[in-house]
Amino acid sequence: MNLIQKLTEEAKAAPARRVAMPECEAVKTLQAARRVADDGIGTPVLVSPADVISATAEEAGVSLEGMEVVDTTDADALEERAARFMAAGQRMLSDKGIRRKMKMPMWYAMVMEELGEVDCTFCGHTNTTGDVLMCAQMTIGLAEGVDVPSILALVDTPGFEGPEGSVICFTDCGLNPEPNASELASIAISAADGVRSIMGWEPRVGFLSFSTDGSGAGQSVDRVDEAIKLVHERHPELAADGEFQLDAAIDPAVAAKKVGRESHVAGRANVLVFPDLNAANIAVKLIQRFAKGAAYGHTLNGFKRPVADSSRGATVEEIVGDIAMLVLSAR
């Protein structure tokens, strides 16, 4: 049983969650929704024009039984939700602006999530990452103490024996090319929250560098050290430490030699914070190509509520796995 299969089984056992799925013009969305409903992963809430949902379901050859349909062309329902959304707090859009945006299913779905009508939103199969991020930031918003959204990857490497077995978390793996110290701190905090929800781990966050505890010097080392200080200020309860070279972060024997002080993280990190996107992307590709490992994760970290930004080339199986992770992040 691979990691996604394990997470899917956990999602089935978790409390039922309502998953907004607004990209109903895509056959794969409806096929995945059918699997999600049949397997007991969650309750799909299809958010699109009703005629589009019906046409796509017919094309996909799937029944809508056990799913909820929210017709975005229902003007009265849109008006009622838009009014509640605007009345619930300070918003980045005008009254007119949100009503115009809600004619687009993804915006409608995230307004529903912000109103508490669904537990999470799955999108990105037809919408671009930029569009998903803008929508989430203007409807749901970032969590308290978070500067930027980010993406974590759950990396499963055959033969690796870490503190959580063969799986470890990498971040940020997709959004922030050159994060500053405050952004690195946000990325770390969001990843810790993510693995706690999805994997049930107690996070131990290791900040990576070419240097271990001052063995090297430079602006990148200073930035990492400043990020660690900010994490301790914002979340003093979080086990976060560094800066560490990779081996010192994950190998207890190496940590004992290189880290000349007590650390709850050194040699035992289960969350690795890379100093920039170059390093994270290269690390993931190296593991995939040379170690035959796999990296999973399209849930966006840092927002107040769970949102997934899937790949537009994802298969139905991959979409179902992404939704299982999304459901777990909502628990």
pLDDT (tens digit per residue) in 110-137: 999 999 999 999 998 899 999 999 999 9
The token duo for 106 is 């993804």
Confidence of residue 149 (pLDDT cuts 50, 70, 90): very high
Q: What is the pLDDT of residues 64-114, one digit of tens each?
A: 999 999 999 999 999 999 999 999 888 989 999 999 999 999 999 999 999
pLDDT score at 222: 97
Decide if 277 contacts 152 (C-beta within 8 A). Answer: no
List all residues 6 or more positions away from 155 whose beta carbon is below 8 Å from its beta carbon. Answer: 167, 168, 169, 170, 284, 287, 293, 294, 295
> How far lies 302's CA from each of 82, 141, 149, 186, 221, in Å?
24, 9, 5, 8, 24
Q: Decide which of 3.40.50.10750, 2.60.120.260, 3.10.20.30, 3.40.50.10190 is the CATH code for 150-296.
A: 3.40.50.10750
- Answer for the pair 80, 50: CB distance below 8 angstroms, yes or no: no
Residue 240's φ and ψ, nearest 5 degrees, are -135, 135
Identical fold at 3-141+304-329 and 150-296? yes
Specify the pTM.
Answer: 0.91
Q: If you count them, how many residues does the chain have?
A: 331
Per the CB < 8 A criterion, the answer to whether 3 and 296 are in contact is: yes
pLDDT of residue 300: 94
Q: Which phi and psi angles does 143 have, rounded to 5°?
A: -70, 160
pLDDT, tens digit, for every residue of 242-269? Answer: 999 999 999 999 999 999 899 999 999 9
Residue 75: predicted pLDDT: 97
**What is the rounded distance in angstroms from the CA atom of residue 67 to the CA atom of residue 272?**
38
pLDDT given at position 270: 98
169 backbone dihedrals φ, ψ, rounded to 5°: -100, 130
CB 121 within 8 A of CB 306: yes
pLDDT tens digits for 286-312? 999 999 999 998 889 999 999 999 888
List the domain boundaries for the chain: 3-141+304-329, 150-296
Structure confidence at residue 220 as a pLDDT band (50, 70, 90): very high
Exposure letters 29-43 (e unless 16+ CB within 10 A, then b): bbbbbbbbbeeebbb
Q: Which CATH number fits domain 3-141+304-329: 1.10.3720.10, 3.40.190.150, 2.60.40.10, 3.40.50.10950?
A: 3.40.50.10950
CA-based R_g, the chain, Å: 21
Helix axes 50-60, 27-38, angle to 10 degrees: 80
Distance in angstroms between the alpha carbons of the first and the last residue of the chain: 23
Count CB neighbours of 65 within 10 A.
8
Strand partners, 68: 45
Q: Which residues pair with 122 in a beta bridge?
A: 308
